[in-house]
Amino acid sequence: MSEPSAAENEYRYLLSPAAIRERARDVLGRVEAGRSPHWLLDEGRLPDVTERVIRVTRAEYPDPTRIPYHSRFRHFDVGGVARNRALGERIAHESPAEQLAVRTELVITSVLLDAGAGAAWRFRELEGGTYARSEGLAVASYHLFLDGGFSSDRGSVRADAAGLAAFDGAALRRAFQVTDDNPLAGGDGRAELLSRLGRVVAENPRYFGREAPRLGNLGLHLFGQARDGRLRASVVLDTVLDALSPIWPGREQLAGKNLGDVWRHSELGLIPFHKLSQWLSYSLLEALEASGVAIDGTDELTGLAEYRNGGLFVDAGVLQPRSPSVTSETHAVDSDLVIEWRALTILLLDRVADSVRGVFGLDRNQLPLARVLEGGTWRAGRAIALELRADGSPPLKLHTDGTVF
């Protein structure tokens, strides 16, 4: 058996949480040395960020030992509606394996449909409330899934290869109530991502099964990787990245493989983030735990380099753009400015998490980063955005196709 090539080794490295933090430190060094034309760092304002995170965490979760993961499952119960319980009741008669498969399919499709909705879009639930942004996308995707929107058999609650491959922009617009007066950012990009996912499910029997391939078989594959009922979080992320890497459009490639959420900085080379894949992994950890699997090493995964966490540090003055025009212009997600912003967010989240643990008197095992995010940093990012801007929009405007943020 031949040794892996240098490109293959680099590919595997760029998919690891260690690479995310190490390449982020390269960005931090550049900013600290004053070599970045885009950002200044004021670490003296970090205590204020920690205080904000502590305040919103205590308001939402008075007992810090009971904070759940920052998982897509949280959003399904927005508005005090017990949608997770309703799903559980609907599939209670199914086998444990089928229940895991269904939950796997729900969170994967919902996470992949979650990139920023834009400030104008809303989803009105039948005989219910009206929701915006990530929660609105969660409720819309929840109903789309339960209505059989990803199944080749419209009467089935499942996401199979044929059903996903047939999904298109028109189906998304109908399900998400998109009109000229209710525009959704990057809608066609999201629909194409799900259609591409269907083709990947059909072509990869290792993860999705050979007979009647379906998305939920990925959860069963992960369940089978557990040893003595335990599974490392990094195995979940590795599997998600390997199984889903072909779905990402127009991305950097290495060793003939798609790198996904990895971007080329003009001076520092390739910088990885894997935001959606890590959030999806956190969500799958919850589904696996519900199936009896104990998860180890959760804190090996990183924070999520997205606009709520990143916006928190900009709005709080920890990250300061060198040019005042930065907050009024629209930026491409592959620009050096956005790459640096996301990389700095990763490391600053680690620092805030350490400070939050210190205040609560908990260690990494008791309060891993995935719970600090939920408590947490994204909630504080949303709160400060609402304080500063009436529509709660992030401090930076981004041009996105719906597959990154």
pLDDT in tens, 299-357: 999 999 999 999 999 999 999 999 999 999 999 999 999 999 999 999 999 999 999 99
pLDDT in tens, 152-192: 987 789 999 999 999 999 999 999 999 999 998 877 888 89
Domain ranges of the chain: 1-69+254-275+298-405, 71-225
The predicted pLDDT at position 1 comes to 58
Instruction: Please state, in angstroms and rounded to a whole number, the distance separating the CA atoms of residues 9 and 1.
Output: 15
The predicted pLDDT at position 296 comes to 95
Phi/psi at 319 (5° precision): -105, 125
> In which residue are the tokens 């971007």 written?
263
Grade residue 402 by pLDDT with cuts at 50, 70 and 90: low
What burial class does residue 349 get, using C-beta atoms within 10 Å of its C-beta: 0-12 exposed, 13-18 middle, 19+ buried?
buried
Assign 81 to helix, strand or coil. Answer: coil
Average pLDDT over residues 241-267: 90
Instruction: Please state, in angstroms and rounded to a whole number, the distance separating the CA atoms of residues 282 and 273.
Output: 15
Report the predicted TM-score, pTM, of the whole model to 2 decimal places.
0.92
The predicted pLDDT at position 120 comes to 87
Under DSSP, the state recorded for 4 is P
Q: Average pLDDT over the chain, rounded to whole? A: 94
Assign 307 to helix, strand or coil. Answer: helix
> In which residue are the tokens 């950097």 written?
252
The predicted pLDDT at position 87 comes to 95
The H-assigned helical ranges of 114-268 are 133-146, 161-165, 169-175, 187-203, 205-208, 217-225, 233-244
The predicted pLDDT at position 399 comes to 84
Alpha-carbon torsion 172, 175, 176, 182, what sign?
A: positive
Residue 148 has a CB neighbour count (10 Å cut-off) of 16
Residue 169 CA: distances (Å) to CA of 173, 181, 202: 6, 17, 20
Q: 186 in the Ramachandran plot: left (φ > 0), alpha (ψ -120 to 50) or beta?
A: left
The predicted pLDDT at position 401 comes to 63
The predicted pLDDT at position 128 comes to 80
Is 317:361 a contact under the CB 8 Å cutoff?
no
Q: Kind of pairing, strands 330-332 and 397-399?
A: parallel
Grade residue 267 by pLDDT with cuts at 50, 70 and 90: very high
The predicted pLDDT at position 391 comes to 87
Rg (CA), the chain: 20
Is 348:313 a contact under the CB 8 Å cutoff?
yes
Strands (E), 45-177: 122-124, 130-132
Q: Kind of pairing, strands 230-232 and 253-254?
A: unpaired
Assign 69 to helix, strand or coil. Answer: coil
Instruction: Please state, in angstroms and rounded to a whole number, the distance separating the CA atoms of residues 357 and 248.
Output: 35
Residue 200 has a CB neighbour count (10 Å cut-off) of 20
